[in-house]
Amino acid sequence: MPYFANVVESKLKERGIKLYDKVAKLGSDADYCGIGEEYAEKGEFKNCKNAYYLGGGTGIADAIKLKGRLIPFDEIKDWIAKTWELKSEDGLSLERYTSASGIQFIFSLNSGLTIEKLNEKGYFPLRF
Per residue in 78-121, pLDDT (tens digit) is 999 888 888 999 899 888 888 888 889 999 999 999 999 999 99
* Region of 48 on the Ramachandran plot (φ > 0 left; ψ -120 to 50 alpha; else beta): beta
Domain range for 127: 87-128
Whether 95 maps to a domain, the answer reads: yes
Confidence of residue 1 (pLDDT cuts 50, 70, 90): low
> Residue 58: what pLDDT?
73
Whether 77 maps to a domain, the answer reads: no
CA–CA gap between residue 116 and residue 106 (Å, rounded): 14
Q: Is the pLDDT of residue 24 over 80?
A: no
Whether 27 maps to a domain, the answer reads: no
How many domains does the chain divide into? 1
Whether 121 maps to a domain, the answer reads: yes
Whether 29 maps to a domain, the answer reads: no
Whether 112 maps to a domain, the answer reads: yes
Whether 106 maps to a domain, the answer reads: yes
Q: What is the pTM of this model?
A: 0.64
* Region of 67 on the Ramachandran plot (φ > 0 left; ψ -120 to 50 alpha; else beta): left
In a 3-state reduction of DSSP, which class is residue 45?
Answer: coil
Whether 107 maps to a domain, the answer reads: yes
